[in-house]
Amino acid sequence: MRSTASLIRILGFAGFAYLFLNYVGTPEDEPSVFTTQNGLWAIYGVLIFMYIAFEICIESLRAILFKTLKPEAQETYEVQVAAKKEQRIAWFKNTYAKLWKVKPIAEEEEIILDHNYDGIQELDNNLPPWWVYGFYASILFALIYLVRFEVLGGDNQIDEYEQAVAQAQIELAAYKKTAKDLVDENTVELLTDAADIKAGEMLFSGNCVACHKAVGAGGIGPNLTDDYWILGGGIKNVFHTISEGGRAGKGMIAWKTDLKPSEIAQVASYVLSLHGTNPADAKEPQGDLWIDEHAPVEGVQVTQDSTQVEVLLENEPVTGAIIQQKD
């Protein structure tokens, strides 16, 4: 493996193998597989080693076959190899000359300008062809760009960025729907599915009945079935209270270290499902009357006499029932 061509082929194979493995193994919009799976470097190294061994075998076979030739044939072969090498060198030299189109030193007198500054003369060389072609290519690119984005109104970088952000927000919203543990007190919603309510009941039975009793009637803790709440009702407030705990020094402990956000949402939804059950041994109301401003009201019945005004709110899911105000 003494030829420059062999070394170039090895480097080319190494680059191709890396790009191929990276392209095949890396999912879209994910980091390179070489950074996530370190074992792939071992496979890559084995491939390079096998290719180097292949090149060595080829060179060894070429050397063995050369030694089997007669002296005259060996001399002819060497002449042919030298001629091919000279042709490659001549091709590179010609290509370089065409790209630069520089006058040889012996012919520079033809392009010397007439003016002379303290013995310093200037050559009137033409611009290198590669620069001229690059300049023409830039003009062509500018014309295409102008038509594409200014005439036809194509999306520019800002438009593409905004579209990408909008798509990312859609995908994030879809992901959050399935990633229940990303929920917090600001994004939690009341769960009504029977499976969630059942799961909340099981968590409540295992953690909350000591203070609130099995049906939420209240013991050490407050009654959870009436319209009164110490720290506010509704799914967001109840979620926050379970997660962060009650009043400092005398309230419920924070459960965020013991329960996942999805489990807290299930417990909170189960607690709200107990509203209006009116257990026989219910504790006296504590806290303030909670009225959910966003709760639907399907019917209102007003009865008034000389002593009181009764307002009946039907199908009110949080406050539940009757607000009585005496004169």
Residue 297: what pLDDT? 52
Tell me the pLDDT of the chain averaged across its residues.
Answer: 83
Give the closest residue to 204 by CA, choosing from 272, 277, 280: 272
Question: What pLDDT digit, counting tens, does each position of 199-216 carry?
Answer: 999 999 999 988 888 888
User: What residues have CB less than 8 Å from 40, skipping those under 6 apart?
Assistant: 21, 25, 33, 34
Confidence at residue 312, expressed as pLDDT on a 0 to 100 scale: 46
pLDDT tens string 86-136: 998 899 888 888 888 777 777 777 778 887 788 888 887 888 889 999 999
Amino acid code (one letter) for 179: A
Tokens of 300: 């209102």
CA distance 223 to 215: 9
Q: Which residues fall within 8 angstroms of residue 47, CB to CB, at 6 or more apart?
A: 17
pLDDT at 14 over 70: yes
Higher pLDDT, 149 or 323: 149
Q: Is the pLDDT of residue 325 over 60?
A: no
- Is it the case that residue 217 has pLDDT exceeding 70? yes
> Confidence band (pLDDT; 50, 70, 90) for 2?
low
Indicate whether 309 pLDDT > 50: no
**Cα dihedral across residues 250, 254, 258, 263: positive or negative:** positive
Q: What are phi and psi of 228, to 5 degrees?
A: -110, 135
Predicted confidence at residue 164, as pLDDT, reads 92
Query: For the residues 152-176, what does the mean pLDDT come to?
Result: 88
pLDDT of residue 33: 85
Residue 12 pLDDT level (bands cut at 50, 70, 90): very high
Average pLDDT over residues 264-292: 88
Q: Is residue 257 over pLDDT 70?
A: yes
pLDDT confidence band for 311 (50 / 70 / 90)? very low
Helical pair 261-273 and 234-244, crossing angle rounded to 10 deg? 130
Average pLDDT over residues 228-241: 90
CB 44 within 8 A of CB 16: no
Residue 74 CA: distances (Å) to CA of 57, 89, 311 = 20, 23, 115
What tens digit of pLDDT does each residue of 244-253 get? Answer: 988 877 778 8
Nearest alpha-carbon partner for 311 in 324, 299, 320, 298 = 324
**Is residue 269 over pLDDT 70?**
yes
DSSP per-residue codes, 226-290: SSEESS--HHHHHHHHHHH-SSTTTSPPP-TTTS-HHHHHHHHHHHHHTTT---TTPPPP-SEE-
- Domains of the chain (ranges, CATH numbers): 4-106 (no CATH), 110-151 (no CATH), 194-290 (1.10.760.10), 295-327 (no CATH)
Rounded to two decimals, the pTM is 0.45
Mean pLDDT of all residues in 264-288: 89
